[in-house]
Amino acid sequence: PAGRTPLIAGNWKMNLDHQQATVLVQKLDWTLKDKKHDHGETEVAVLPPYTDLRSVQTLIDGDKLPLKLGAQDLSPHDAGAYTGDVSGVFLAKLGCAYVLVGHSERREVHGETDEIVNSKVQAAIRNGLTPILCVGEPLEVRTEGRQVEHIVAQLTADLAGVRAEDVAKLVVAYEPIWAIGTGEVATPDDAQEACGALRNTVAELYSGDVADQVRFLYGGSVKSGNVASIMARDDVDGALVGGASLDAGEFAAICRYKA
Ligand code: PEP
């Protein structure tokens, strides 16, 4: 859409150990090669657990695989007394291009506020990582019809103090919480409404030119059978895929949504 390269990113969540990870990545690569997938046309990224990153990076580097690598979270800090946390410095050194920030499971399970999410966006940018910033409304907000207001407020708070040149490179994922892992997918109209409103917000906060460069993804029960109709909408530039990214064949089929 409008010169933006579509991105399909697989969020494995807390699934697959480092041995299973290399098996999945090899299968995914073979399947995409078999179908002559053009990674310049549709970018493909995998976001495994931290403990898998080194194995997957070794495979990607050693075999020169065209897949992009990313992590599922990062610390707002670069180093120091933060037991259990992982720094963006380390992720960048491991060849990560992307890092999820503010996934709803982090916001809900770990109590991440927009202030924390904002500091993680800044940490990612500082370390040359592209944040995949996640926003999305819970069911009760959708039921009240306040979804746009909700995600616009999240995006505005999460981008506080971020410079225009960094926002232009950003990826933002609209993930309605009621659609994550539930099998209940948003309609293409829902996805377009949200991604369009988020793009308008970037245009108001920065400029139309910056907004045109940001890639907006939809996430929430994306499958090979529903991805094409969502991707057909003007402001949807890709998909963030959870459950279906754990099956190499299914994920490859999602990446091949144009075929
Ligand atoms: C996700 O984890 O970001 C996600 C969208 O999950 P699922 O595809 O399983 O709904």
Query: Is 224 flagged in the annotation as binding?
Result: no
Distance (angstroms) between ligand 1 centre and the Cα of 207 equals: 30
pLDDT of 1 reads 65
Write out the DSSP string of the chain: -TTPPPEEEEE--S---HHHHHHHHHHHHHHHHHTT--TTTSEEEEE--HHHHHHHHHHHHHTT---EEEES---SSSSSS-TT---HHHHHHTT--EEEES-HHHHHHS---HHHHHHHHHHHHHTTPEEEEEE---HHHHHTT-HHHHHHHHHHHHTTT--HHHHTT-EEEE--GGGTTSS-PPPHHHHHHHHHHHHHHHHHHT-HHHHHH-EEEEESS--TTTHHHHHTSTT--EEEESGGGGSHHHHHHHHTTT-
Atom of ligand 1 nearest to the CA of 243: 9
What the block records as the tokens of 138 is 């819970």
Query: Is 13 flagged in the annotation as binding?
Result: yes
pLDDT of 2 reads 74
Test site for ligand 1: of 7, 8, 11, most ligand atoms within 8 A of the Cβ = 11
Query: Is 242 flagged in the annotation as binding?
Result: yes
Residue 102 Cβ inside 6 Å of ligand 1? The answer reads no
Residues 171/213, Cβ–Cβ less than 8 Å = no
pLDDT per residue, tens digit, the chain (259 aa), is 678 999 999 999 999 999 999 999 999 999 999 999 999 999 999 999 999 999 999 999 999 999 999 999 999 999 999 999 999 999 999 999 999 999 999 999 999 999 999 999 999 999 999 999 999 999 999 999 999 999 999 999 999 999 999 999 999 999 999 999 999 999 999 999 999 999 999 999 999 999 999 999 999 999 999 999 999 999 999 999 999 999 999 999 999 999 9
Distance (angstroms) between ligand 1 centre and the Cα of 244 equals: 8
Shortest-distance Cα residue to atom 6 of ligand 1: 242
Q: Which residue has the tokens 């065209």?
A: 66
Q: Which domains does the chain have, with CATH numbers?
A: 77-198 (3.20.20.70)
List Cβ neighbours of 143 (8 Å cut-off, separation of 6 or more): none
Torsion of CA 76, 80, 82, 83, to 10 degrees: 140
pLDDT one-digit tens code per residue, 26-59: 999 999 999 999 999 999 999 999 999 999 999 9
ipTM (interface predicted TM): 0.98
CA distance 71 to 51: 10
Residue 119 Cβ inside 6 Å of ligand 1? The answer reads no
Q: Closest by alpha carbon to 157, among 99, 203, 118?
A: 118
Distance (angstroms) between ligand 1 centre and the Cα of 48 equals: 13
CA distance 172 to 243: 19
Kindly report the pTM of this predicted structure: 0.98
CA distance 37 to 252: 9
